[in-house]
Structure 1
Amino acid sequence: MNSSIIKIPKIEDPRGNLSVIEKDVLPFEMKRVYYLYDVPSGAERGGHSHKEQQEFLVALSGSFDVILNDGKEEKTVTLNKPFEGLLIANGIWRELKNFSSGAVCLVVASDVFEEADYIRDFEEFKRSLV
């Protein structure tokens, strides 16, 4: 499956740690950054795939599960560390579930929002793989 955990450089300091996403941390140029927060208990986010766009997800606070599906295999990745994130290639279905109270999900994307890049129906996603 085309996804991987990437460590974000961490500068440790007794006054508080600092992590930076710049230069060669990601294999793409950042074109969009957004974040999810105040997700109600039991709510789910995601539920789509991208035709071209890649994304990098980081749990800035709290935790959540990312369910990934490439049409052949499904796996769950739990994000709960602000110094590592999940790189998701295009062509991977993703769902975000089990948000802890106070969880914040940062998303760094390889492109600006373009509705035509989304596949929002799982059956259509599976047909696109053939």
Structure 2
Amino acid sequence: MKIEYIPLQVHGDERGSLIALEETKNIPFNIKRIYYMFNTQQGIRRGFHAHKELIQVAISVKGSCKFLLDDGIDKVNITLDDPALGVLINPMVWHEMYEYSEDCVLMVIASDSYDESDYIRNYEDFIKLV
């Protein structure tokens, strides 16, 4: 499985840094939803699903966490720990997030609004579909 990272341009000076996120420019789709996770307790894994059509970019804006990405053939583990780097999560990629640092804020940018019918929450069902 090829992991596609999204490099984000940092603008800044002695006052600090800024990253702008723009749909169809550095985010490769129209943005319909943004959400973020924080205060995730130690030892907790999140995710455990794939999407039929949704495309997402995950960015650890603070701290770090690890991802398991699985396309039904290959499984890859990555660490997100750079606020200037996102990872693209395409449709039909099972994903789990784990080993959150205490200060982790994980932001996810999505191509569509929440739609429960787009989720595949059972791994066996996911494998049958891919």
Give the structure-1-normalised TM-score: 0.96
What pairs up with 1:1-130 in 2 under 5 angstroms?
1=1, 3-23=3-23, 24-129=25-130
RMSD: 0.9
**Residue 43 of structure 1: how far off its partner (Å):** 0.4
**Residue 102 of structure 1: how far off its partner (Å):** 1.1
Identity of aligned residues (%): 36
Whole-Å Cα distance in 2 between the matches of residues 91 and 99 of structure 1?
Answer: 24
Matched residue count:
129
For residue 17 of structure 1, give the secondary structure of its aligned residue in structure 2.
strand
AA matched with 1:22? E
List structure 1 runs of 4+ shifted beyond 2 angstroms. Answer: none
**Residue 12 of structure 1: how far off its partner (Å):** 2.1
Whole-Å Cα distance in 2 between the matches of residues 98 and 11 of structure 1?
Answer: 29
AA matched with 2:12? E
Structure 2 spans left out of the alignment, 5+ residues: none
Q: Is the 8 A contact 1:2 1:89 kept in 2?
A: no
AA matched with 2:10? K
Larger displacement relative to structure 2 (17-26 or 117-126): 17-26
**Residue 26 of structure 1: how far off its partner (Å):** 1.6
The 1:22–1:86 alpha-carbon spacing in structure 2 relative to 1, beyond 3 Å, is same
Structure 1 spans left out of the alignment, 5+ residues: none
String of CA shifts for 1:97-130, please: whole Å, max 9, x gaps: 000011000000000000000000100100111x
**Residue 2 of structure 1: how far off its partner (Å):** 5.4
Whole-Å Cα distance in 1 between the matches of residues 47 and 54 of structure 2?
Answer: 14
